[in-house]
Every structure is written in structure tokens, then in C-alpha cells.
Structure 1
Amino acid sequence: MAPGLPTAMDRPHFIGIGGAGMSGIAKILAQRGAQVAGSDAKDSATADALRALGATVHIGHAAGHLADDASCVVVSSAIREDNPELVRAAELGIPVVHRSDALAALMDGLRPIAVAGTHGKTTTTSMLAVSLTELGREPSYAIGGDLDAPGSNALHGEGDIFVAEADESDRSFHKYAPEVAIILNVELDHHANYASMEEIHESFETFVGRIVPGGTLVISADHEGARELTRRLDGSVRTVTYGEAEDADVRVLSVVPQGLKSEVTVELDGNPLTFTVSVPGKHYALNAVAALAAGAALGVPAAELAPALAAYTGVKRRLQLKGEASGVQVIDSYAHHPTEMTADLEAMRAAAGDGRILVLFQPHLFSRTRELGTEMGRALALADASVVLDIYPAREDPIPGVTSELIIDAARAAGADVTAVHDKAEAPEVIAGMAKPGDLVLTMGAGDVTDLGPHILDRLSK
């Protein structure tokens, strides 16, 4: 039986309750019986889902939204100090809890699997949540995206396993004490918080040090950043490597594309094991192998978990098919880092057949564009043609001289066909006008470019 409510979290108030990470924690608390309340900048389907669980969700931020008897206020690193609800919490003496501390409290008493890495966390966490559910293990989970089925990013399960993303962006993954930790890859990102690869490696080493005694680290044998991290470890934690490398403990023997699926064969404990991954691309196949290795480390028989992985059909925004019109498929991609962009475009190239790949790309964050704009442009050269929007700022203020032109210039230097569109409302007309039957159109980025998919389909249908 899963534990009940953490102490002092029976009446939590979430600032930014509609966010991917925050909403998951709020949902689990509501499912455990807490009187959940919170606020968000705009209404959404996520807010409606929370209301359906009994939560009170206010739209907009105001001091009056915070109840005087709230047991705590939950915030993420994106909440600014001058937020009126945060200011009011200080006036009332209500404890302020970071979302990572709240998530750590939810995992207390369970067997946590924490999934870390610069890319692939949401997919791998989702694969574990779906496959363990398929096996009747009734896990709890908190994911940074909504599953295609059952359509939620979090669940309070009655089993003893808790699967969660472990976010390195603000070092919040240092709060968790997993029985099994997965590290998919290690790259420099989140430039506002990390100045160098050395800082990134130190942060991941701290995360590894949080694994409970007798626990296991599952880590990529292919990714150079992960291999370097493995070399730096002192050997005090049991380590299982996975990947295509010959020295991998769980070795990938083959990944065979089958349309929008893949057939994967691995060697585990000296025996071959073949299973299906129901999403396209080698990077997703490797995520599934990481999930397989982690489940096995937790004691779930690999021969049972492998076929259950086929039940995972995707996460919203991770190569999600939004629809088809006039012979053109529109697919949504959350990729916003060059490595992710390259992986998704290579996966789509294998699935496109004779069709072209057209990308509507929205850069995410000024700091990321400043540091990685050239690499983003080179990645876009893998598409047949691209439309690039202005930078989605998210939590950041503009940086002088940093615009999407940095990406566009790099893409053109790499031989790419790129069109700049500064008015987002015009983008669906532009990209739909370029498409022909058989083409794939990708809306790509971590911002609100995802909202344009239905508009593209509408324009195509006309």
C-alpha cells in the first residue's frame, strides 16, 4: 500500500499549478486526499483536470488567492520573488516548499526510480510508468508530459514503485534518494545555471551520490558525457551500462525500423531478447533499453517487462501525430536542444519514405540560443525546408543581439532552405503552403509552437 499524505502538505497552494512538473505533484496530492489549491497564468486542460480532482485553481496571480490556512506554498525555480502570492506567504509565515522537496516527500517510503539526463527523461519515465502499469505493478509516477494513454502526467498508484523525472536544470534532482537512478546522457545545457561541463559533471556526481545503499545506477555506455561521468565515479554504487557499445552490460544488438515502430534486440545476462518499441527512432529505442535495465535492477523480470514496453504509445509533444490533411501528416516535437532536434529529424527521415520533412521551429530561451544557436541551425539542415519563428522567452528577459537570426544564418551556412517568420499567426499559412501530399510537417520547440498544429491542419484541409 502506498503511503498517505506527507506531513504539512494536507492543504498545499501551488504557484504555477498548471506547469508540467507542478501539476503532477498537485494531482498526486489531490489523489491522496489533500485540499489542493493554486494559481496559474492562464486556464488550460491541465487546470480542468486538477479541478476534476477537487483542486481549486485560480487564473492569474494575486495575494488574495492564497488561503490564510494553507499548510505550505509550493513553487518552482521559475517563480519570481515578487510574485504576490509568494509575498503574501511571507507575510502570513506560511512555509515555502520547492517542488523538488514536495516530490521527494511523495516518494518517501516507496521504491523510487529517478530518471535523469539532458534529453529523454520524459520518454523514459513514461515508458517505465506504462509498462509497469501494464504488468499490474500499480506504480505512482510524475512525468513532465501527458501520456497518450491514459492522458495524464501523474498518478498515485497503490504499488510500492514511484517513477519520476529527475530534473538537473536547477539541481533539484539532488533532493531525491532513488533505489534506481537512470542517466541517459550528460551534456551542457541550462546555461543560466551551469557555466561549464565540469559543473554539469559535478552536479550529476552529486545525484549519483544520492542513490540509496544497495541501489543501482543505470547509465548510457554510448554517450561520451555519460561515459566520462562513469569514469569519474568511485565504484561505490552498483553500475549497469546499456547501449550499442561492445562493453555495455545491456548491449543493443540491433534496432530495426518498422514504420513508426522499431524492433529492438538486446543481450541481457548473456541472452538475446527481442521486443517492440511503438514509437520511431533509435533514440527512443535506447530509452526503452534504459527502462528495461532499470526495471530489471528493481527486480522486475526482463522477460515480462520487455513485451510490456510495447504498450507505450507516446507522450504528448514527443513526436505526437496531431493529424493528417490533404495527404500531409502534422507531427509535434518538443525538441529544443540540437541533440534532440537531430534525433527527432533522423527518426522522421526514416519514417518519411519518399516524402519531405518540413519544420516549423520556435527557438526556446535566449540563453540557449546564444550558446547553441549555431548547432540548432546545423540540425535544421537535416530537414528539407524550415520556417523559423522568433525566440520563445519563457522565464527569461531578452539578451541584446540574441535573435532567431543566429539560427537562421547557421542553417543557411549549412545549406538549409530556411524562411524567417516573425508573426507567429502567419506561420501556419506559410508552412502549409510549402507542403505537398506525402510530406511530414513538424512543429518543433518547447514553447507555444505546439498550438499551431491544428491551424496548420485547418489550412491544409482547405
Structure 2
Amino acid sequence: MRVPVPDTILPADRLGRVHFVGIGGAGLSGIARIMLARGLAVSGSDGTDSPTLEALRGLGAEVHLGHAAEHVHDVDTLVVSTAVREDNPEYVEAVRQGLRVLPRSAALAAVMAGRRVVAVAGTHGKTTTTSLLTVALQAAGADPTYAVGGDLAQTGTNAQEGGGDLFVAEADESDGAFLVYRPYAAVVTNVEADHLDNWGTEEAYRAAFAEFADRIDPGGLLVCVVDDDGARDLAAYARGRGLTVVGVGESADADVRATDLVFEGSTSRFTVHDGDVELGTLTLQIPGRHYVLDALAALTVGLRLGHDFDGLRRGLEGFTGTRRRMERKGEAAGVRVYDSYAHHPVEIAGDLQAARSVAGEGRVVVAYQPHLVSRTRIFGVAMGEALGAADEVVVLDVYLAREDADPEVTGALVAGAVPLPAERVAFVPDFDAVPAELVRRARPGDLVLTLGAGTVTQLGPRVLDLLATHDPAGGGDA
């Protein structure tokens, strides 16, 4: 459901008692955390209990399991996400009462009020770059408020109220949320067609990023990863509008460059040049070229905000990841298991490159769950082609999220496009059958990677449990 953004967004301290429908979600839970830290009255509801809900209760939120009209009888403001349906009883009751109803983007803008906002946008890499920037700034002596789409390993949470004037936020383009913010500075990691169920065309999607750039403070800053053609085009557009732009990447004409990249196991090492000045070498505890570019963008923002290289480097080198971004789940029977959020062909390719580095002499065995019927219809063949970089591939059926099923668009579309021998690819629509299929294919020394934005993340622990009671030495095909 799309809720209109009000013409005037009140600061959070003027919203009264705030109720979140779906408070356990990655976006809403972070906003709720920040409001609770500021002493605001917060309640919410969700369909199932979770550690996130338990943590919010501990912070003072009144949290209900299930949705009911009586949950909003003493509420002033209702916050909903696009996943909420129009017949949700709490939304229906809020409308009946004439309560203030805000989409997630407006609620985030409300807690941003009065802060110097750094917004991180892009088709891929938003969560990791926002996380890297947050820990880099913290290590350099800043104390930013942050709201990220995943839990930081260092803090175990996706949002936190800071004592400084900076607010670091992931700026989501999927539903146009990033067009609600007025950042002082922004990062754009890349611009590639996605979320066409909302934007309609690639041209409209790219135009939205131009509009986002127009919303940056005229005295502020835009950092673009110019190795990406879409971000490079955006940088040129923003420069033409008079905005200060810093291009980063491996490209020879980037203002801040990464050179001498070396990938060893789960680490990535590179040298940083700011113009003609060599600043030093950085070693990340996360693998993959795309993470190097994310870190370079985060570093550049910190430098341009006036922080020193050594402090920022200390934070980046200490970064151990974000939940669901090449997250190590464990090891059993000599098989390592990782989980990642990749659900777009470019993200799949990047994470498989990283997995290959971590796997070393072992093979990469992937379970991939396509996300959304609309995305699979458009990108399903490209998803399958990207999965060809693995050694063994198991494709699940499409995770529907906010859409209805389409019998013509299933995981079979993706599996059929994987350029591997047929015996190395399987379409397994029965979710509960996937762990055993992965264990059957895995050998000691292999890396099993679960990929996708849906319930596939639940498979890692089940695979590890099976591995612990199963000898995979004879598994897999020669």
C-alpha cells in the first residue's frame, strides 16, 4: 500500500504517540529505536514474535502480536510500510479516526529533522555502505545517529541515537522514499534498472536519482562511484547543476581512487589515492571488489566531512559486516555456510565473486530464492546467467512478498537460464527440501551460500544442523 507523504512533515517530537504497523521490519524497527531513545511514546504490532520485538519491548515500546483496531485507540500518528495492506484493521481504524498516517519515508524524515543528514542511495550496496560509513565515523570520533537496513555486527542493531549532529541513513529508492529527504551530503553507489514494478521504465528510475541529487543541500556534497555508468552519468548531471561532486572508484579519472586490489580469503586490501596524494593502504575484513568500492565511498564522505584518514581507516578495518551481507553462519563437516541478501543479477555476480575468494580451493554451492514476481519476470534470465559463476546451483521458487503468484513466472525460469550442466542445477520448489539438497551436493572444503531477500535466510542454520549429522564426503557429483 502506498500512503501519501504529507506536504509538511512534523519533527518526531511533535508526532505524539506513534504506532508502527509492522514494527519488527528492518525499516520501521530502526525508526522506532531512535524515537524510543528520545523518550517518545511508541507502540506497534507485528504478525510474529522475534528478537527485534523483544528488544523494542526492552527499550520501552508497547508491542502487540497480531493486528487489531483497539491497538490504535490512544494513538496520534500511525506509521506503515508499503507491505501493509489497505484492509489492515489498524490502518482502517486510523483512517476512521482521522489520525495522522505516515509512510516509512516520512517517519524517517521526522527523526532526521534538525540533523545534518548523510543519505546513502544506489541500486546495490546501500546497506553495506551506510554501515561502513557509520563505523568509520564512530572510529574517527564522531557520534552519528544512524538508520540502516540491516544489523551492524559491531552493535547488533540497525539504528541508534547518537550525540552528534550527523544522521547517517540508508536512502531507499524502491518506493521513492529517498525523494522525501533533504540531505546535506549523499552517496550513490550505482544506478542500474530495478524496482520497475514501481518506476515503470529504466528512464523513470534513472530520472528519480537525478531528482534525488537535486534535493541535496546546495552547499553539500555528492559522492558517486564512477566505475558504474549510471552513477557516472549522475555525477556529470550534478556537476552541471553546480553541486560539489567527488567521483570514487578504480577509474583513472576518479577523484579518490582504489589501486592495487588484493583479495585473500575473506579479506580485501587496496591502496587509497586522493588526487595525487597516496593516503595509505586499507585491509577490509569482508571479501569482494564491490565491498572495496563501498568502503572507498564511505571513506571519501568521512574525509570530506573533515575527519582524518587514520581514524576512518581504523573503523573500516574493524568492520566485520552487516547481517545478511556475506554473513558467515557457521561451519560443519568441513563445509562453510554463508548468507547474503543479493537478489539482483549484479548483486548475485558480486557476491559469487566474493564467495569464490573465500572458498579458495573449495567449490561454491548456491541456493538462490528469486524475490518478487515482477523482478523475476524482468531479470529472471539474467539472474540465472549470473548464477553460472557457482559450481552447483539450487533455485527455490519465487518469494512473493507484496505480489500475487503468477504460474508463468517461477524459479524454473531462473534455473533454466543457469549456464551449467543440467546435473549441477536444480529447481526445488519445496522450501523444506532445499537443505537436504544442498547437503547432498556439498563436499568438505566447499562453501554453501544462500542468496535472496526472502525466507532463504532461514536455510543456513538448517543446513548446518544437517551437515553436523551427515557425512558429505561422498556427496556431490564429480
| TM-score normalised by L of structure 2 | 0.93
- Match for 1:289 among 296, 299, 303? 296
- Match for 2:269 among 258, 263, 269? 263
> Does 225-234 or 102-111 show the bigger shift?
225-234
| 2:170 aligned partner | 165
1:309 maps to 2:316: yes
Q: Deviations over 1:60-79 (max 9, x none)?
A: 2221222x221200112222
| 1:386 aligned partner | 393
| 1:323 aligned partner | 330
| 1:59 aligned partner | 65
Distance 1:88 1:152 in 2: 31
Matching residue's letter, 1:201:
R
1:9-408 matches, cutoff 5 A: 9-66=15-72, 68-233=73-238, 234-272=240-278, 273-408=280-415
Matching residue's letter, 1:86:
Y
SS at match of 1:318: coil
Residues 254 and 266, structure 1, Cα contact 8 Å, conserved in 2: no
Q: State the Cα distance separating 1:412 from its structure 2 match.
A: 4.5
Q: State the Cα distance separating 1:213 from its structure 2 match.
A: 2.1
* Structure 2 portions without partners, runs of 5+: 1-9, 470-478
SS at match of 2:19: strand
SS at match of 1:192: helix
SS at match of 2:86: coil
| 1:410 aligned partner | 417
- Match for 1:434 among 429, 441, 453? 441
> Does 182-191 or 253-262 show the bigger shift?
253-262
Q: Deviations over 1:41-92 (max 9, x none)?
A: 21111111111111111112221222x2212001122222221111100111
Distance 2:411 2:38 in 1: 45
SS at match of 2:413: helix
Q: Deviations over 1:258-302 (max 9, x none)?
A: 321111211114211211211111100110000011112222223
Matching residue's letter, 1:261:
T
Q: Aligned residue pairs: how many? A: 458
Distance 1:125 1:5 in 2: 23
Distance 1:69 1:412 in 2: 57
Q: Residues 172, 416 of structure 1: CA spacing in aligned structure 2 closer, same or farther, 3 A cutoff? A: farther
Percent identical residues? 51
Q: State the Cα distance separating 1:228 from its structure 2 match.
A: 2.0
Distance 1:313 1:441 in 2: 19
Residues 5 and 34, structure 1, Cα contact 8 Å, conserved in 2: no
Residues 366 and 450, structure 2, Cα contact 8 Å, conserved in 1: yes
Residues 267 and 287, structure 2, Cα contact 8 Å, conserved in 1: yes
Q: State the Cα distance separating 1:230 from its structure 2 match.
A: 2.5
Q: State the Cα distance separating 1:413 from its structure 2 match.
A: 6.9
Distance 1:399 1:195 in 2: 19
Distance 2:455 2:36 in 1: 28
Matching residue's letter, 1:93:
G
Matching residue's letter, 2:243:
V
Distance 1:414 1:185 in 2: 33
Q: State the Cα distance separating 1:5 from its structure 2 match.
A: 6.8
| TM-score normalised by L of structure 1 | 0.96
> Does 133-142 or 286-295 show the bigger shift?
133-142
